[in-house]
Copies of this chain bind each other. A is one copy, B any other.
């Protein structure tokens, strides 16, 4: 069992870091000495959670992640043998270096390159041969370590927001540090390296083709510095295979050739550089990596600004300090240690993406452009909006409003630069992954909750554009012609996900209608609201579910509402069955219930989804199903029961403790909301459905700039661990008769009390 640790040394460093920076003292409100001690970065690192135990700062550009998904048949999962989207897999065993800058919780392979590896003995640059098994894995926020059994090298990594640092403890003898630019998780290839001095290289590598979008490519620039003078340096490059007589002449063809005397630029599909040393027993060598998405100069600037005068210990301590500060926005009491671990690990995962894109000088690559612009605030990237519009941005809005505000401003800047709000933005590229118009509910939701420090007119203009432009010119809604004229999207190709598309447009248009109404645009509000009810076209009385419609207006046949389970292709629906989508009308639950014949059929059918295993805890369209029970008086207990059941079953302290791709924090946010007693089940609507908190007391620090109050306290009267159901709810001491609470009620209520039974 892998363990998170806190050594005396680290705790000491952390205290020193606080002292040195005048920050808040370490929190002592739990059994563990710090909140970060509850974070287990191994959670979600198997079972396709696709999180990783690497070192990162909150919302940091840089993450330094152990890369163990290639090069050995002993690995359980290999990136080249199957669909694979994460640099680290808990059950694998073959380490081939540290990847710099990674994605957490995504379903397509990307980034996970600039692989840094220590070795000893004879120089070998073939990852299949230089990779090593490992033991003694340790991970905590901003720190990861393992011990390479092949080399007897202890490796440790930490990070600043834009740079990484590794510390390798070598045995006596010949040691090497390798930087491999040929391999990595990304499907793009091609890099350039330039030796700056014996101990420094700089370069650029191409990344991209995320989710096989061939044009979504972008460069990463880097500067790598080893803090010990090497005895030798060089490059390698895999040589192109040659045929026939040519092959006889070139002994290196098809192999890794070492360049031992050449030190200027080298470029190619599969290149790398090595530094060789004579090391003493236990000698530690630190290696720094600065990155930028703007230029090599900025990569160096980022490294110099963030690491100047600091060693590994200092950087590690600062990373811990940053995490502890951020996690302490919510403190919980009661609940088990395991629940606290699940909770704070989820909060940790929440704060990984979106992450900052701008360099220390404010420069960043403009959206879908080769231009470099400068921002005063934070420029964010990695917007997996089809996922995160459902709960991540709602949680950020409540607990980290300053970041949510910058994210909305970032989204509007993207519109300024590119003409479109983002859908699935990745380092300045619109990858167009998944469907819908998810920026609309995010921005509306934020505005509705009082975070309005952005150009509202521009936001409306951008939303109106994607909602109304004909499909041929419409990047967000390519099937907008059908949608606007018919009120739904017919199935025109077997796997065009037409129903999934339309369901996203409905919820977006609902949010937009509320926004229009609030801005006094009555006609627009009516139009968009009317559109948002178009879902009714898809309701099949025969099956009691949504069902694809053909261009002639008839339903698609043959139809099986269960088709689509386990990523099986399914006409009309994206990565799921009709059951995963049929209840996804959170803006008109009562309308849907009416279609289904009223409350009872609705409740029965919804309960059946859970009872018969039709619910997918990892596919976003159905993740708020449990909360729909609470729309019906007397059925709220089902919400409370199911959310608790799902938490218990799917969110654990084990490496498989996330029920599928974390989706850049979406699964984690689901857990967090449900653990503290409320969930935002209708994106764009500033409301939450109440459910039973798992903790006795939850204190959320509020930012008075946005919420006037300093904190929100949620408390239960639970005396026994198993108590599950809500008896009554008190807001600020007064009986609260609803199971839905508005954002305003919540943040101004200050004190939400659940009496359980």
Chain B residues, Cβ within 8 Å of A80: 242-244, 246
Against B, the Cβ 8 Å flags (1 = close, 0 = not) of A239-256 are 110111110011110000
Stretch at the interface among A54-62, A149-157, A212-220, A703-711: A212-220
How far is it, in angstroms, between the C-alpha of A268 and the C-alpha of B80 when the chains are bound? 20
- Interface flag for A259 (CB, 8 Å): yes
Chain B residues, Cβ within 8 Å of A208: 262
Shortest CB distance A202–B (Å) = 12
B250 near A206 (CB under 8 angstroms)? no
Stretch at the interface among A184-192, A483-491, A731-739: A184-192
- Interface flag for A209 (CB, 8 Å): yes
- Interface flag for A297 (CB, 8 Å): no
Given known A-B contacts A249-B83, A249-B212, A204 and B265 have beta carbons under 8 A apart: yes
Chain B residues, Cβ within 8 Å of A214: 251-252, 257
How far is it, in angstroms, between the C-alpha of A365 and the C-alpha of B264 when the chains are bound? 10
B259 near A189 (CB under 8 angstroms)? no
Chain B residues, Cβ within 8 Å of A269: 190, 240, 268-270
Name the CB-closest residue of B to A296: B265
A268 near B268 (CB under 8 angstroms)? yes
B190 near A266 (CB under 8 angstroms)? yes
How far is it, in angstroms, between the C-alpha of A654 and the C-alpha of B685 when the chains are bound? 86
Name the CB-closest residue of B to A204: B265
A266 near B206 (CB under 8 angstroms)? yes
B268 near A267 (CB under 8 angstroms)? yes
Given known A-B contacts A240-B189, A244-B81, A249-B212, A370 and B267 have beta carbons under 8 A apart: no
B192 near A261 (CB under 8 angstroms)? no
- Interface flag for A374 (CB, 8 Å): no
B267 near A204 (CB under 8 angstroms)? yes
Given known A-B contacts A189-B239, A212-B249, A212-B251, A218 and B82 have beta carbons under 8 A apart: no
Shortest CB distance A371–B (Å) = 10
Chain B residues, Cβ within 8 Å of A264: 218-219, 365, 370
- Tell me which of A218, A261, A263, A368 has the highest count of chain B C-beta atoms within 10 A of its own C-beta: A261
Shortest CB distance A85–B (Å) = 11
- Interface flag for A260 (CB, 8 Å): yes
Shortest CB distance A72–B (Å) = 16
Chain B residues, Cβ within 8 Å of A393: none
Chain B residues, Cβ within 8 Å of A244: 80-81
Name the CB-closest residue of B to A189: B240
A262 near B212 (CB under 8 angstroms)? no
- Interface flag for A195 (CB, 8 Å): yes
How far is it, in angstroms, between the C-alpha of A18 and the C-alpha of B208 when the chains are bound? 55
Shortest CB distance A191–B (Å) = 5
- Interface flag for A162 (CB, 8 Å): no
Chain B residues, Cβ within 8 Å of A219: 264-265
Chain B residues, Cβ within 8 Å of A195: 370
- Interface flag for A65 (CB, 8 Å): no
- Tell me which of A243, A262, A271 has the highest count of chain B C-beta atoms within 10 A of its own C-beta: A262
B190 near A267 (CB under 8 angstroms)? yes
Given known A-B contacts A81-B245, A189-B239, A217-B259, A267 and B212 have beta carbons under 8 A apart: no
How far is it, in angstroms, between the C-alpha of A264 and the C-alpha of B205 when the chains are bound? 11
Chain B residues, Cβ within 8 Å of A370: 195, 262-264
How far is it, in angstroms, between the C-alpha of A268 and the C-alpha of B370 when the chains are bound? 20
Given known A-B contacts A81-B244, A245-B82, A370-B195, A212 and B263 have beta carbons under 8 A apart: no
Chain B residues, Cβ within 8 Å of A205: 267
Name the CB-closest residue of B to A215: B261
How far is it, in angstroms, between the C-alpha of A242 and the C-alpha of B70 when the chains are bound? 14
Shortest CB distance A128–B (Å) = 14
Chain B residues, Cβ within 8 Å of A192: 192, 204, 265, 267
A selection of 24 A-B contacts at a CB cut-off of 8 Å is: A80-B243, A80-B244, A81-B246, A82-B245, A189-B240, A190-B237, A190-B267, A190-B268, A191-B267, A192-B265, A204-B267, A206-B268, A209-B252, A212-B250, A214-B251, A214-B257, A215-B260, A215-B261, A218-B262, A219-B264, A240-B269, A261-B368, A262-B370, A263-B370
Taking Cβ atoms with an 8 Å cutoff, the residues of A that contact B are 80-83, 187, 189-192, 195, 204-206, 208-209, 212, 214-215, 217-219, 237, 239-240, 242-246, 249-252, 257, 259-271, 365, 368, 370
Beyond known contacts A187-B250, A215-B261: 19 more, CB 8 A cutoff: A80-B243, A80-B244, A81-B244, A82-B245, A83-B245, A187-B242, A189-B268, A190-B237, A190-B266, A192-B204, A204-B265, A206-B268, A208-B262, A209-B252, A212-B249, A215-B259, A240-B270, A264-B370, A268-B269
Q: Which 5 residue pairs across A and B have the least CB separation, nearest first?
A: A190-B268, A263-B370, A192-B192, A267-B267, A192-B267
